[in-house]
Every structure is written in C-alpha cells, then in structure tokens.
Amino acid sequence: MLSKNSKLICKAALVSGLTIATATQALALSCVPMGPGDVYRIVSDSEDPFLVIEGRVSFDETLLPQYSDANPRATEKPTEIPAQVTGLLLGERMFDQPVEGEITLEAHCLGPWCGSLVSGARYLFFARQTEDRVVAVVEPCGGFFFSAEDGSAGDTVLQCHLGGICPSQLPESLEGAVTPLAED
C-alpha cells in the first residue's frame, strides 16, 4: 500500500462538476480547461482524503473502456482497472515520500467519450484514499491526471501546497455552458 506518513489532501471533487459539455451540430465534447492548481484547490476543499502523487503509472491499456455504437450502454458505469504506481507522494513540503504499490484506476465515459491514459507514462495525479485502496479517476477531460514529463504540473502543485499563488486555467465565465448530457 502507500506510505502512512504522507499528508492527505482532503476533500472530494465532483467529476460531473469538472466536465462541461456543449451541444453542437456535430455533437462534440467540450471540456473546461482545468489545470493542476484548479484540481489542487478542489480536492483541498473536499472532505474526502486525497493523495497527490507524481510517478509512473503502469496498467493493461486494453482494459480501458471503449465506446461502441453496437452497445452504447456498456460504458455507462465506470471501469475499474488495477494499476501499479512508482513515484513520490506529496509530503508536508515537497514530493518526498517514496511510493510503490497498487492503485485502482476508475475510468469513466461520457457518452461516446472515454477517459484514457498511456501505460508507463509519468503523471502528476490526484487519488482518493479509502480504507482499503487508492482510487484515481480517469475521465474524458483529463481532470485528475497531468503529464509529469516536464515537471511543471508538480511545480504548480507545490506552489499551491506551500501557500503561494495557485494559478487557475479555468475561464472567468462559463456562460452558455451546459452540464454533460443534460436532459431538457
């Protein structure tokens, strides 16, 4: 499992609140451009315990959900995928807690759009700690996962974590946006 000495980032983020879809003639998914600072603030205000991890995530990519017109209901429920993570957990002041173990990826679809990751890639991600496991949500708009290849996502989270300016990538206005698959 994961280190018990780490500082938990508390509070849950609502996946449905993170994604906004707009209806167009061609039916496309439009996502709110959230950055690591935005997600950090959301999970910091949550009552659920979250971990912030920077590391390599490995899993069987064939288990990721794929939408099919032949069976559109097959992707309505999240798909749980076992994964291995090796990296560093955010501690009191920096990413300094070595972590290696199993996590569960919870892959979501929104209509024909499904969340995806690349196995073996380095990510900075936010994962919910439960009593018996660690769960990281993979959704169509990215949400809780950011590339860690250049280190900028980790720098942003550290800046937020240490009380500095916590930059946002959210637009100032969501005027005209509708919630995903909103019913009339």
Proportion of the chain above pLDDT 70, given as a percent: 78
> What is the reported pLDDT for 69?
86
> What is the reported pLDDT for 23?
33
Question: Which residue range forms the structural domain that includes residue 126?
Answer: 9-161
> What is the reported pLDDT for 89?
96
Number of domains in the chain: 1
Residue 59 lies in a domain: yes
> What is the reported pLDDT for 5?
40
Residue 64 lies in a domain: yes
Cα(37)–Cα(165) distance, rounded to whole angstroms?
A: 9
> What is the reported pLDDT for 182?
44
Answer yes or no: pTM beyond 0.85: no
pLDDT tens profile 74-99: 788 999 999 999 999 999 999 999 99
> What is the reported pLDDT for 28?
64
Residue 43 lies in a domain: yes
> What is the reported pLDDT for 12?
34
Chunk the chain into consecutive blocks of 10 residues (it has 184) and report each block's average pLDDT, rounded to whole numbers.
43 35 47 88 91 98 91 87 98 95 95 93 96 94 91 96 91 62 44
> What is the reported pLDDT for 7?
42
Cα(139)–Cα(107) distance, rounded to whole angstroms?
A: 6
Residue 120 lies in a domain: yes
Residue 130 lies in a domain: yes
> What is the reported pLDDT for 24?
33
Residue 168 lies in a domain: no
- 134 forms beta bridges with 129
Residue 148 lies in a domain: yes
Residue 23 lies in a domain: yes
